[in-house]
Structure 1
Amino acid sequence: MDVSKKLLIVIYTMFALLTLLLIVAAHTILLSSFLDLETRDTIKNTDKIEQAIAWEALSIDRTARDWAYWDDTYDFVKTLNPEFINSSLDDDTLYDLDLNVMLFVNKSGVVVHSLSIDLINGTNVPVPTGILEGIDSGLLTTRENMDHIQGIVLLDKGPMLIVGRPIRANLEGGPSAGTLLLGKYIDSSYIDSLEERTQSSLSLHTLNEEMPPDFQDAFDKAVRGDGDAVNILEDGRVAGYFIMRDPAGDPVAIMRTDYPRDLYAQGKKTLIYMYCFLLLSGLVIGTATKFSLDHLLVSRLVAIDSFLEKVKREKDTSQQLEMEGEDEIHRLSKGINEMLSSIRLAEQELKSREYEKKFILDSLEEIVVLRDPKFNICWANQAALKNKDLLTVEVKELPFDSPQAADKDIVQKPLYPRAPSWTDQEFTSFEGKTWLLRSKPICDENGDTIAILENGVEITERKNYETELFRAKHDAEVANHTKSEFLANMSHELRTPLNSIIGFSDLLYEKVYGELNVRQLKAVGNISSSGKNLLNLINEILDLSKVESRSFDLHYSTFGMAELFAEVRDMLFPFAASKGIKIELKVENNLPRVSADRERIVQVLSNLMTNAVKFSNENGCVRVKATQNNDFIQIAVSDEGIGIAAVNHDKLFKPFSQIDSSSSKKYPGTGLGLALVKEIVQLHGGSVWFESEAGKGSTFIFSIPLKQE
């Protein structure tokens, strides 16, 4: 199997695994999000239905207040004056109020007058027995300090919304003469009207009848207080539920509102589109990657193999292998060319040793011209004769004995100014080739110019190479910037689930959801600490990527170094105390306040002091000192730890770099801290350096300007 087929298998396998991983992650996360969104939407719509019934009760309550606080009503209950019935309580009263029942109950709990009709059939009906029983039991009569009755009463004909108000002579809370009760059936016509207003499907079940399983489950959940009840029905609809209560606050009925699962269906459809896009993207990217590798690697290796076979077959070492780029394969091609050139030169040396002096100049590919001090051409080699347009613009007769006397086309004037300090001049010939023309004055013992030697080298390939190099540099910068933006976005995306992991693990560790045994508590603690360590790493990567993408902003404020030192020391005290390390702080007297990004300076000082504690021996000492040096504040952090050998100094401020693998195992870390320290200090206009020897401790020093420029 050749390299191209192997690459094809590897690339498609990698992209297949990556696509599968993305699909699984998207399905798990997004589908859960759609379910949560559907639940919240259902709860919101259920709340709207419950609010609509509440508004109905409020409307009836306004009517009850108008009637109950009417002086004529008060007098009627006290005197039973029939004129009030004739003038105010005719047969159309309940129709106008859209009510089924109106009862006037005196203070003794006796119904002194009642109105009860069937709004659908338009007939008078007896007062429901359940209401009378509620009056007799005192449930539907007002008492002292009670000015409101509201709830659902279960009657033989169905549930009724009851609202009651005490009958008083005025609104200021005078003595009560009894109770006014208004009622309206929650029947099928009312539910149909409510469905039309809310554009939903409603169902009602009372507790005195056998309820369907989903109603029973929702009721039990509401009674236990497990949160809002939402169920997925068998016909693929989603339903929300709420409890309806009697005037005493006890549940008497439960209402369900259900909707088609359009939101969830649209989410699943979106996921299908996403899966198709991921699969198609994987195929396209995999194919593009394969062809790119073929172009950049495989095809070039095949070209080298074919070239060597051709040289071997033709035994012609004068051929040259041309490879574009600046990589290992290009250097390999240069090595092959150099090897062939060495072989060819060795062969030529054996064949043409006696002729080399005679033809050396004419064999050169460079232009060589000798001019007198007046810039008349004295001699030119064959390369110059082949490129006359690079030399002159006029014809000049050469001496008879000159080897170029027969050529009358050489012109005497140069293409550049006449001055003894000339060096280089680029020129493009008529054939489109680029030449580098150079001149050098030849002087006698007195320093006078006696001749001028000119030579020219074709640099077409070099110019093309410089152009390609510039483009490659630009592409690399764009790629690096894109990488930094991608890393910053991914770091933001990673921090969201990490915060959730840390938060829930902390809740578990604090036993918010119940008791844990020792092993469980230790495991949850490990999850929390590992999550926080990973979050710190992501924050450091995000800061570094912001610096690289030039989106790292500083927020300046004025503060004192003493309070800053104390804050960082308090943060690191538990860590230092665990190793028995003492932290000594020293701030120069009369040290002025600093204008800088306080949060970032805390980050710099915390990183340096954390490193000092980490790499210090137990029961050691870390010293932090702040002094003024001209217009800069200079801060030094010293430890008595393992020190840093001189050969490792260059690694300190490089991202993801540590001194060696053994130290990284003993002293864990990512190698980002000092890199961020350097970038943050330089963004403030300061500098960072260090002094250290292996085994003798280290001192990191950084300086920042006193004032913002």
Structure 2
Amino acid sequence: MDVSKKIMIVVFSMFALFTVLLIVASHSILLASFSDLEARDTIKNTGKIEQAIASETLSIDRTARDWAWWDDTYEFVNTVSPQYIDSNLDEGTLYSLDLNVMLFVNKDGNTIHKLSADLINKTDVPVPEGILEGINNGALVAHNDTDYIHGVILLDNGPMLVVCRPILKGIGKGPYDGTLILGKYIDSPYISSLEKRTNTSLKLCTLNEEMPPDFQEKFDEAAKTKGSVFKILGEERVAGYFALRNTTGEPVALMRADYPRELYAQGKNILNYIYVFLLISGIAIGTATKFSLDRLLVSRLITIDSFLGKVKRDKDTSKRLEMEGNDEIYRLSKGINEMLSSIRLAEQELKAREYEKKFILDSLEEIVVLRDPDFKVRWANRAALKNQSLLTGEYREPASNSIQATDKENKVSQKLQTLSWSSQEFTTPEGKTWLLRSKPLCDETGNPIAVLETGVEITERKKYEIQLFRAKQEAEIANHTKSEFLANMSHELRTPLNSIIGFSDLLYEKVYGELNSRQLKAVSNISGSGKHLLNLINEILDLSKVEARSLELHYSRFWLAEIFAEVRDMLFPLATSKGIKIELELEKDLPRIYGDKDRITQVLTNLMSNAVKFSNENGCVKVKASQDGNFINVAVSDEGIGIAAEDHDKLFKPFSQIDSSSSKKYQGTGLGLALVKEIVQLHGGTVWFESEVGKGSIFGFSLPLYGRNG
């Protein structure tokens, strides 16, 4: 594929990706904006309907105040004057006030006069039982001069908007002497009038009837907020909801206002226009960019490619490329011309270097020979020519010289394979030893084209290696003899120490009579030093047994948790003296392991005692155990001084400590970790550690569950 096609693919791919990103961004941002605008507009229009119902409540309240604060009404609730009824409460009163209910209740809670009418059929009807029940339980009765009750109550004939005002003598002054109750049904005619005024489709659902799913979904949300809530009903309709509350403020009904999704539809149409515009713009800009790049870049690159092909074909580095302009391509052509000049100079220098190379190789004492794939000498330096036995190939092993192959290429390939990266020693008839190395040289496709042979005389080094090997054998024999001697001396070394420790303990316990304080202190020092020396001897003897391969493991099945608790209790006094806590974190349901219980106890004791010894005061030592397949992993961590990276190699080596200053502060022989490593490895496990200066250390080991052989 040429550059022009590649540029076309890249340009149109970039503009296609850019166009898609713009379309996605426009869709996400603009559509979200239209959705937000639609929601705000819906909530705003729904709020107007809610305000209309609130205005209706205020209108009824104004009527209630006019009647309740009228002095004639105050006298009426006390006298129940027929004249007041004849003058003010005739059959048309409710129709003129556009009310369904009007009740007068005296201060004792007794209804002294009531009016109830069906405004649709123009007939008188009984007062709804819900109103009378509200009067009886006091929910619709004013209890003081300022008591104002309003809200929606649910009745058998539907929800009713109720306003209750205290009857006062004088305009709002008092005293209180009864309650005036006015009510109006929120019925179909009222909802229809609201629909005409707001040009909206309305639907009302109450708690005492089964609500549609969308009402059930939005009821709790509308009940928690004082305003309206929003919901999309489909591609063409959207709705706003608000709650109607009773006289105590509890929601008892939910009203929904439906609206067409005109804003959303307009937004989608605008987005479609934007998509078409972005697509056309992307195609136009991509096409213009492609033609511009062809003219400014591709045609000039083709000229450069043709020129380089001609130079390669003619092998003439004296030609020069002519290119107009002052841009990167012009500078590239200038660089090509300079490169051709450099190649021409390099060809001249190459011949001089060939001579220098020959001179240098001839001055070497080492042998350098270049052979062709048939192992015929192509070139040899002066040192090789002086040793004809090496040059003729007499040193080669018989296997490489006795290759049987009928095909010449097969024979060459097999010979090269036997010599690939090979080295061997050869002794000449003069008694000199040479180390000869052979390496095949291959072309770019991996086919062998030559063999490079080099050789260096190692006569003296060979003699030194033989002496060193003999000395090493003698040292190993001496070390093994030492280890066997120490392992066999365990009884002779331990018996006198046990006697010293035993008798010093008897003296300290005053078995043979009373001792003064100085004598007790001296005896205590004898016992402590003897026990310390016995521990050192035990570690040395154990290590010697390992080196002499005489340390035996006594296998049994046991629980690790028992060992952890035993070692923790043993180290508790030492840890408590430094204020150090020892925490055990054992994985649940750890199985029993198969190993030498005493030796595993020795490993854990060494690690935990080291952790306590090297921890700072009031620190914490954590011991963790977990199962990983057929292995148990144990880690002991501390918050102590840590170990520098350059000292990590000293760990687990016998008789090795970090530094002299540490050894003075923290006493020890350096045998503990070496024994830990040997014992764990005898079980078929591994040891590991992590440490950093000032951040503590973590020592761990892994043991197989079922012994060394699993």
TM-score, normalising length: structure 2: 0.43
TM-score, normalising length: structure 1: 0.44
**Greater Cα radius of gyration, structure 1 or 2:** 2
